[in-house]
Amino acid sequence: MDLATATNFIPLNALDVTYLLVVGFIGGLVSGFIGSGGAFVLTPAMMSMGVPGIVAVASNICHKFPKALVGAIKRAKYGQVDVKLGLVVGVSAEAGVIYGAHIQQMIHQRFGDAGSNLYVSLAFVIILGIIGSYVLWDAMKTRADAGDEPEKVARLARWVQTIHIPGTMVYFKSLNARVSVLFTIPLGFATGMLAATIAVGGFIGVPAMHYVLGAPALMASATELVTAFVMGVGGTMKYAWSGLVDIRLAMIILAGSLFGIQLGAIGTTYVKPHMIKMVMGVIMVLVMISRAIAIPVYLSELDLIDKLAPHLPGALLNISFVVLIAALASGAAIVFAALWSGISASRREALLATSAATAFSPDTVASPANPQLSPLGRFERFLLATDGSEYSAGAVREALRMAGKCGARLRAVSVIAGGDAELYAMGEQLITKELNAARACLDDVHLLASSVGVAYESEASQGNQVYQEIVSQAEKMQADLIIMGRRGRHGMARLMVGPSTVRVIGHARCNVLVVPRAAKLSGRHFVVASDGSRYGDTAAFTAAQLAKLYGTPVTVISVTRPEHSEERRREAHQIVNRLVSFLKQEGVKVEGKVPHGRADAMIVQTAVEKNADLIIVGSRGRTGLERVLLGNTSERVIDEAHCAVLVVKTA
């Protein structure tokens, strides 16, 4: 039997493929923003092309699990994913998917496409009518009442977290509490059932994690992507075994979704929790209306009501589809608005940090006008983040040395990671022991500070996310510089430098100095890397201030790559010459260099050749969307360099 005459599959033309790519892109965009829920629109979109309902559901589930994995990895970089919670819920969700798929197949076998369509539509109307209305109401209430205050745990979630059932308690970092798996099992099973019915369980999964378990809205929407991946794998196998997955539809939609989900995930970093609820609520209510409009058509086809007039079924289905498109467009518009607003605000902050008189030009170097949150204008307030391990030794040593040289006040913090809070539920004595160990470490630093005459204060605290606590401490004291250690350069310790270090750099408003264990900042030689952007200019300005303080020679570099054009290579020489001229005017001994190769490798190699004890880089590159976290080049430089690395922020 050829494809065109196969029962379960339809022929596709160029217009169909284009339509599926666009719908997949927008569905992925919304999915990356609210969790996996954006995939709901893809099932009716395929059905509108004549795809049988059960095939649309099966193909949608097939496309979802790789997309969910991409989204989960993307948002994990922003610290928004609780992998343990996603997997625990995913286990029971898998059971729900298998059972739900069995029911879906039974309905289709007995009542045909009309029965399956009615079953799906009723599920949409009931689930979305209840959950969508509540989420939308809660979003508006949160916006009106909470303002900039942290979102509060729902009353139901607080009650769930107080229930202790021996042998079933599990700690989840996103909840910062232990919860019985007896609560996660029915929530996961219901999520899986819905996923097998309409190809998306996020409408239950995300609200359940947030309102029932108590996860923050951002983490609930991100963690549900892990559950969606688990469900997608099992659901695809179940439906494919019966020959119901059209791999063409799945791959075309996936191609569009993979682009959209990246933008959606980035959008979450620019919005407050109530905005994610708003997107969820708007989409849910509109889809509910869309499905409700189509229900009379399916009832008529099953002879459960009188036959409709000949023109009514087509008209109702068209109206239903238009409302679906409106839901899709509304969600996409809100996500794009959040992205535009966030990126615009980020750029405005950067522009405010650069004075109009010294704005970037071929002959000048931009210097930030506001020194309060940067060491460019002053070196008075340092924040040292230490965990008491051997990897913090270099940071402690250089923090004391720099503070003594600059006459700065030093505040040291030691934060017990959120994962260690699990000890608290096992007994106050254990967590007290951890805090006492941290305080003892800080007391040792105090003795060293006193011996060199450095003004010192300290605090040991416990936080769900280490980086958030460090950044918060820096903002409270208006720190000029955060000083941190770096994990080892081999094996598992080398992965991603250490997530806390990366996230502190990504979220802090002040500069961050990363010091390897054996590194010493004595002023032998500094290397400054610039790409010609305002971030590179700020790095050069910082280098000038530090070089004058330490009496240190400087090498300025701008790296070119093999694929760069001759024009780009000439530009690199112009960048170096401009910065060299600026540093000479500042009285700094300086030389320029334009190495050719991979940027991070050339920066580290130059530091080795010059026996440099400090590399200075900007916090962001100049390609693509404004980066939320540390750029890849800077991250690799920190990871590979033997010397200290100063990451300079523009504001």
Q: Which of 56, 59, 72, 71 is nearest to 251 (CA)?
A: 59
Helix, strand, or coil (residue 481): strand
Q: Between 601 and 369, where is the model more confident?
A: 601
Residues 6+ apart with CB under 8 A from 338: 33, 267, 270, 271, 275
User: Which of 35-39, 128-132, 547-551 ranks highest by mean pLDDT?
Assistant: 547-551
What is the b/e burial string over 605-644, where b = at least 16 CB atoms within 10 angstroms of the residue's CB? bbbeebebbbbbbbbbbeeeebbbbbbebbbbbbbbbebb
Domain boundaries, the chain: 3-153+188-344, 381-648
| Average pLDDT of the segment spanning 99-114 | 88
What does the pLDDT look like over 389-436, one tens digit per residue? 777 888 999 999 988 888 888 999 988 754 333 333 334 444 566 677
* Integer Cα distance of 582 and 547 in angstroms: 13
Strands 177-180 and 456-462 come out as: unpaired
Q: Which residue has the higher pLDDT, 47 or 228?
A: 228
The rounded distance, in Å, linking the Cα atoms of 515 and 395 is: 5
pLDDT of residue 95: 93
Does 571 score more than 70 pLDDT?
yes
Torsion angles phi and psi, residue 369, rounded to 5: -90, -20
Average pLDDT on 375-380 reads 58
Does 314 score more than 90 pLDDT?
Answer: no
- The DSSP secondary-structure symbol of 527 reads E
The three-class DSSP label of residue 465 is coil
Please give the biggest Cα pair distance in the chain.
93
Give 152's pLDDT tier (boundaries 50, 70, 90).
low
Amino acid at 530: S
pLDDT at 608: 92
- Which residues partner with 555 through β-bridges? 527, 591
Q: What is the dihedral of CA 575, 581, 585, 587, to 10 degrees?
A: 90
Q: What is the mean pLDDT of the chain?
A: 78
Q: Which amino acid is at 353?
A: A
pLDDT at 146: 47
Q: Which one is the CATH code of 381-648: 3.40.50.12370, 3.10.110.10, 3.90.75.20, 3.40.50.620?
A: 3.40.50.12370
Q: Pull the structure tokens for residue 190.
A: 């219901």
Q: Pick from 249-258, 401-410, 425-434, 552-561 the range whose average pLDDT is largest.
A: 552-561
Q: Is the separation of the CB atoms in 629 and 77 below 8 Å?
A: yes
> How many residues are recorded in the chain?
651
Task: Grade residue 502 by pLDDT with cuts at 50, 70 and 90.
Answer: confident
pLDDT at 539: 86
Query: What is the chain's alpha carbon radius of gyration, rounded to the nearest angstrom?
Result: 28
Segment 116-127, tens digit of pLDDT: 888 888 887 887
Q: Which residue has the higher pLDDT, 74 or 340?
A: 340
pLDDT of residue 66 exceeding 90: no
For residue 186, what pLDDT is reported? Answer: 93
User: Percent of the chain scored above 70 by pLDDT?
Assistant: 78
Q: Is the pLDDT of residue 218 over 60?
A: yes
At 495 the pLDDT is 32
Q: Is residue 70 over pLDDT 80? A: no
For 586-642, list the strands marked E by DSSP: 590-593, 614-618
